[in-house]
Structures are given as structure tokens and as C-alpha cells.
A and B are shown apart, each in its own frame.
Chain A
């Protein structure tokens, strides 16, 4: 090998504390180094040209650049050496800026350290081999998991982009949390009026295949070629026949089914269409409360159904879909307020969540849009809102801010005063977080125009006294205790990761944080990508989000998918693991530990061997450190390459 070493001054960034010329001189003494020089700005156009020229003129077969972090410019230089006709992997970087010149001023020590880092890079490069990507076909269909507003947006954008979409939703209708809202902040426009048309678009779009009452069972394959198994739950109603007429609901004698859509405020019929604007508008039987299932006789719905759609024998089905990309848009759940004993939720019927209150406000809700106390149906006159319930609370393991509670509480304060003009509204808050467009103005309106009384402080306790509730808290601005006699207490319950999110993440082979929210690839620069190629995130599954952010992320994820699908062939990263079949003894330890299921057992002349599925492997190298025979080797980070670096440091 003929190696060229380029030591960068980076202006004075490196040269200021490192004698780059001395580093270059020392590098000339390293094995197989044919050329070593220092340069002002290696990454600049002339700098790159110098590398290209040196490769051509001096017949170099490998390049080391000692400059900034490879996380900064590795790709820049790889492209440069490629322009000169070398393989992009015949290149190494020594990070002498972030790891040397910027962290100390001792020029002697820095120069020495920089020289050693160059030696390491040279020793590694000597063991590098050209690596080549594979090309493979892309299935241009996308799976969107979750039919909330983020999923709907992502599905519509992809469909509009001409790609087929499979949209799966766990509930019987899409719409998600937004469908449950009465109005939205800061415009106070009707939530279902703006979401409804989008839901209809989903139902009618020729490119969208909507699967409600369906969950993800398993994911196999890799970017461009996922095989997805979907579990379609038994609805006991044949949806191809159901017209959504609702006669079954009218006649159903069992009215004890929990009303999930209305956040369990009241009950509903065992056969049910959750809300009038449901998409698909199809009935579902809840076998937990249906008399047919509980007692073995009833059959009223089957009798009244004009299309004969009822099918008590229906079984769960497993469907298989081929897709090239997956968007997870599984949303969030509301914090379980009964976990806070001092507020008495669960014991006191009139201590409710904001989302339950939203249903009380909604004209399609259980009270027809009239605010009534769940306990006695009376109209409350004094309503206390408590913010940050299950948010920003380390003791509950919920240290994060849910982000949208300040805003919806202000909205609900305003709506309360609209609905019951003679009501008194109190809001306990820690800080008002309203950084969005028109947001702060909106909270001000709640206080100033609508007379909501904002009290800065936490609520210590809620307890009943007669038919009222005493809300005891602190007013930290006045430095006093306050006690308010309330008719209704609304807790602004924070967002938490949707139930089952970690399990889903494991199926999708993506990371999740300690709270169960999915982790994006980069918090700033890759907010909708995950570390698994081909899997994207939209909406609150990544962290609590309000509607505009969710919609924006839905569109962003769709854009990523469309960009991915704009190529007919994808290239795999060649920095993946390979198994030397001659060394492999087929013990299967790599298969056990691979987080991607990227290694499979094969039969080679009657002997078990491991084989890496190149397109699934993400290049973590766990198999390499697991394989005792050194048969599995991660290309570009092989045992020999790392040993060369260790030896470069320890032998001298």
C-alpha cells in the first residue's frame, strides 16, 4: 500500500496548538507512508484537489487525513478519494482538532498525541480493504401505524405522492386523540370540523388501504423490503356488509360496555360505533359485555341488522403485507390520574381528566355538549383546573413537560366561561409554557378576557366536603395557602407513552427512552428518522406534541418516505458484518445476540453455519465481539483493524 497523509492546519484551529509540519514529518516514518504533508484547509476545494492530485500523481492507494472529527468530514473526504478513483473505504481520519488541538494548549503534548493518532490511523488503514455496496429493489408501499392526526397526515401525503399506503389503527375508527377534542387551540375551531374531512379523504383515497381494529404482529425484512404481519381483531361484524346505519346500537339491550371513546364517562352499548364521524363507520361488538357472549343468548343485533352483517363466529385474522417503509404514529396515552392519591381521582367522581372534560364539552359527547358533573349531573359553577398532573414530576417518574397542557387548559377555561358564563374558573399552574405562534396571546386571553384566575402553585390535596370539593393548594406568588370550594376539578393529565409502545419498538427494532417514547435518530437533524433504516416516526409516539407539530411531523415522515421511494434501487452500507464460513462452527451465538435478527442459520454441506443478511445488518458489531472464533467480522471494524490500533498505541 502507498499511503498519503495530509495534516490539516484548519487555519489556526489546529496549527495554533499542534505542530502540523512535525506531525507530517513523523508520519513519513510510518509504515507504507509514501507522502505526508501539511495543508491549510484540507476540506476546502483546493485542499481536496491536492488529495485527488496526490493520489493520481503519486499512485497512492490509501489516504489519512488528520484534521477534524470524522463525524464532521469523513464523508467529504471519502467522496474526494472516490473522485480520484480509490475506494471510499481506503481512507482514515485522525481527529486532531476536537480531540487534540481544542482541548489543550500544551503544544508538545498535542503534537505528540496528534502524531500517535496519525500512526493509529495509518495502522488501521493498512488493514482496510475496499468495500462495495449492494443494490436491491424497493417495494414502494408504506405502512403507517396509527390513525391519529399524525398518521392520517403521513398517509395522505404518501398517497398523494402516488405511493400505496397501508394504514393500520388499533381502534375501530381513525381519528385518534384529536377526534375526541371539542375545539382546538389557539383558534378555538371545531376539532372534528377540521379533522373530519381528512378522515374522509383517508377512507376515499384510492392509494390508502385502511385497516381498523388491526395491530402489528411482527416485522421481518429490512428497508425497502419489510414483510409485515398484521393481526386483525375479531369485530363480530362483517364490515363488508355493515353500512354503519346504527340500528343495532339502538336496539342493543346491553348498555354496560365501557365507553372508551368518551374516556369512560358513562357507558355505551355492547355493539357500538364510537362516534358519528367514525371512519370507517362500522359497528364492533365488545364481547366483554355482549349478552350473546356472556349468556349465550340474545342475538338482537343479528335480528335487526338489515344487511345481516353480524357474525358471532368471527375469528382473529393475520394478514401479511409487503412494504418498503414504516411510519410509526402510535401517539400517546393520558397519564393515569388515580396514581396521585391526594387528588382522589378514581374515588371522587368529579375529579376528571382534561380529556374527559373535553368529552363533556363536545356536542357529540355523552352530555351533548352540556357541562355536567359526572356525580350528579349538576352544572358546576366553580371549576378548578390543575396543571402538570403527571408532568414535570420526578416523584412520579414523569420529569418531562407534556408541552400542550398549558394550552388546552387555557382553551378549556375559555370554553367553560363560554358554556357557563356565571362560572368561576381557577387554574393552578407551575409555569405557563406557551411558546407557539399565537399561544401566549391565547393564554393571556383566558386570563384577561375570560377572567380565569390563574394561581401559581401546586395543589396539595382535593377532598370532598358535602357536595363540593375542597381544593387546597399553595399560591406561591402570594406565599399563602389557598382553599377553593369547587364543583368540578379537572386535572391536566400529562402525556405518557402509549401502552405497548416498548413492545412495538422492539418489533420495529427501534430504540425507546425510559418513558417509552421512541427515539429519533438525531434530536435536531434527524427528528423523524430512527436508527433502523426505513422506519420513521410521526407525532406523539416520539414525545408529547400538539396538533400542528404532529401534522408537521406526519408530513416530514411522508417526505422521507417519498424521498426513499424516489430511488428504484437502494444501496446497502457495506460496513456490515460478514461470516467467514471456514471459521464458523455454527454455534449460533451471533444469531442469539444480533439485535436486528440479521443473522440466520444456514446449512453448508451438512454443517450449520451463520450467514449475515446484508440488507438487515446495521453494522453494530455485537456479533463480532460475540463470535469466539472471530468468524463474524464487521467490515471496516474487524478484530485485526482494531488490534492494529491497539498495537499502534501499546507497542510503542
Chain B
């Protein structure tokens, strides 16, 4: 049965995380999730908006949510945890009547509060389920040791995000296991990668991200699997910068979980965008293909 969800790609999808967006659309299509892109969606405001003004930040998200209501849908999925965080926080705050009125004043069309926001990860877990995912696997990722990395805001704060365990989430672990891969115990799976310090304090980012990659390597991972454009960029793009302080030359692929899903389900590479990654997973993936055949 096909399920319809509104889809909010978020700005990263237009640039740094096009591969995430591509693979998400491809995988969802295959699994019967009909993603309807919100027409005329706008930026969620990201961190700058809410650091400046809560009602402005909420209005940016609420505009998109109100658009979902016009679409006649009651669920929206977004690949980006940062966008999700804004959508959810806005909805949460707008449960308060005074705040809701204030925000709706800023909008052309008021948001009635009927939309449930979720990550693509949550949509895949709750609307599709690991059983269906496992059943769709064409080339299992047998023998692939993966460290799933959720990032710091996918599940937190738990009373707003309301998905999975905030300290020890396992949803991505379960998907990867369903794909046939081996998930290594990765204690830092909800640590901060330092994304927002990416420009001003590169040394902090180097420390935080470096520790993450070291931990993944220590745990025996051959690749880090992510669900966040920010994390992906930090961990993948900066591996050269991280190498020096950590004293390790990492060279560990950092892939989106949707890419791996697409790969395991036999989708063509052109729809998954592995070529957009800095550290190429090609070697790993060809090994899996070889093992499978």
C-alpha cells in the first residue's frame, strides 16, 4: 500500500547533501512511500533564526507546516535533523495558545497544528518497517562492519523529538542489520560532531569529529553511516583536517544510510550519488558485491 507523506527536503538537499536527497527519494519510491515535495517550501531558518527570535524561527517552520495542511496531508518527513528539530520545536511551542497566536500573526495562512513531523529515518522505520526493508534487499551487505552515527539532535531533546532512545538510539542499527551488515557497538553514536563550530573554531571540530572517527575505527568499523547532512559533511569533508590532531589518517567512508539502503536494494548508482562523497566507499562496496556473488 502506498503511503503519502509530505516531503521537506531542506536547503542542504539543494547543495551539499544532494546525494542524501536523491537516495532518499529513490529508496522511498521503491518502498512505497510517496513523498510529495511541499510546493514553494522555504528555509527552516536553521540555527540563526532561533538564536535571534523564537517567533520568527517558528514562523519559518510553521509556514511550511501550513503548506502541508493545504496539501491535505498530516505528516511531513525531512531528511535533515536540523530542519526536523526546527519543525518539531515550532509545533511544540505553538501548542501554547499565546505563542501560536503570535506566530500566526506573521503568517499569511495560520498553521492549525495538525501536522506530525518526522525524519526520513523515522518514516522508514514506522511507515515501512525493517521487515519490509529486509524483504527488499537484493544484495545484502554481508560482512560490512558499520558504525551508525545519529548525531546529537536527531533524537534530542526527547520530549520534543519523540523518537527512539535519546541516548542509545537503535533505529538505524536495525535498518543496517536488516540490510545484512554488521553493526559495531558505537558508544559515541549521539555525540556532537561540532558542526556549528565548522567556521569559527575549526580546532574544536577537529577534536570532536576526530574522536568520533577514532572511536569508529577502534570499534572496528569500515564505514560510518549517517543520517544528517551536517554530520556527513564534517566527518567526510574534513578527514584531512582531522588527521593531524588525531594522528591518524582516517580514510573512512561516511555514507548516508539511504545510500546503503539503495545499494542493498539494487538501485542504480546514478540514483544514489556515491560519487558525491569525498572518501569513496567504492572499494568497500565492490567487496560486498564480490562477497555476494
Asked if A and B form a direct contact in the complex, defined as CB atoms under 8 angstroms apart, the reply is: yes
Chain A contact residues, majority secondary structure: mixed
Flag if B187 contacts A344 (CB, 8 Å). Answer: yes
B114 at interface (Cβ–Cβ under 8 A)?
Answer: no
Tell me the complex Cα distance, A341–B165, Å. 8
Residues of A within 8 A of B166 (CB): 341
Tell me the complex Cα distance, A314–B165, Å. 44
A335 at interface (Cβ–Cβ under 8 A)?
Answer: no
Please give me the 5 A-B residue pairs with the lowest Cβ-Cβ distance, nearest first.
A341-B167, A463-B187, A342-B167, A341-B168, A341-B165
- Chain A's nearest CB lies how many Å from the CB of B183? 13
Residues of A within 8 A of B185 (CB): 347, 464
Other A-B pairs beyond A341-B168, A463-B187, A464-B187, 5, CB < 8 Å: A342-B167, A344-B168, A347-B168, A464-B185, A465-B218
Contact with A along B212-240 (1 / 0, CB 8 A): 00010010000000000000000000000
Residues of B within 8 A of A342 (CB): 167
Interface core residue of B166, B185, B187, B188 (most chain A CB under 10 Å): B187
Flag if A465 contacts B165 (CB, 8 Å). Answer: no
A523 at interface (Cβ–Cβ under 8 A)?
Answer: no
Q: Which of A339-386 contact B (CB under 8 A)?
A: 340-342, 344, 347
Flag if A463 contacts B188 (CB, 8 Å). Answer: yes
- Chain B's nearest CB lies how many Å from the CB of A486? 14
Contact with B along A449-483 (1 / 0, CB 8 A): 00000000000000111100000000000000000
Tell me the complex Cα distance, A517–B167, Å. 29
Tell me the complex Cα distance, A342–B165, Å. 10
Contact with B along A321-352 (1 / 0, CB 8 A): 00000000000000000001110100100000
Chain B residues with CB under 8 Å of chain A are 165-168, 185, 187-188, 215, 218
17 cross-chain CB contacts under 8 A: A340-B167, A341-B165, A341-B166, A341-B168, A342-B167, A344-B168, A344-B187, A347-B168, A347-B185, A463-B188, A463-B215, A464-B185, A464-B187, A465-B187, A465-B215, A465-B218, A466-B218
Chain A residues with CB under 8 Å of chain B are 340-342, 344, 347, 463-466
Residues of B within 8 A of A463 (CB): 187-188, 215
Tell me the complex Cα distance, A463–B187, Å. 5
Residues of B within 8 A of A344 (CB): 168, 187
Residue of A nearest to B155 (CB): A341
- Chain A's nearest CB lies how many Å from the CB of B219? 9
- Chain B's nearest CB lies how many Å from the CB of A197? 45
- Chain B's nearest CB lies how many Å from the CB of A122? 49
Tell me the complex Cα distance, A241–B166, Å. 53
Residues of A within 8 A of B218 (CB): 465-466
- Chain B's nearest CB lies how many Å from the CB of A489? 13
Residues of B within 8 A of A466 (CB): 218
Tell me the complex Cα distance, A466–B167, Å. 20
Tell me the complex Cα distance, A341–B188, Å. 12
- Chain A's nearest CB lies how many Å from the CB of B70? 37
- Chain A's nearest CB lies how many Å from the CB of B101? 29
Tell me the complex Cα distance, A342–B152, Å. 12
- Chain B's nearest CB lies how many Å from the CB of A389? 14
- Chain B's nearest CB lies how many Å from the CB of A472? 10
- Chain B's nearest CB lies how many Å from the CB of A343? 8
- Chain B's nearest CB lies how many Å from the CB of A459? 12
Residues of A within 8 A of B215 (CB): 463, 465
Tell me the complex Cα distance, A59–B218, Å. 96
Tell me the complex Cα distance, A341–B158, Å. 12
Residue of B nearest to A341 (CB): B167
Residues of A within 8 A of B188 (CB): 463
Tell me the complex Cα distance, A373–B185, Å. 20
Residue of A nearest to B167 (CB): A341
- Chain A's nearest CB lies how many Å from the CB of B155? 10
Residue of B nearest to A462 (CB): B187
Residues of B within 8 A of A465 (CB): 187, 215, 218
Residue of A nearest to B188 (CB): A463
- Chain B's nearest CB lies how many Å from the CB of A248? 40
Interface core residue of B165, B166, B167 (most chain A CB under 10 Å): B167
Residues of B within 8 A of A464 (CB): 185, 187
Tell me the complex Cα distance, A466–B218, Å. 7
Tell me the complex Cα distance, A341–B218, Å. 21
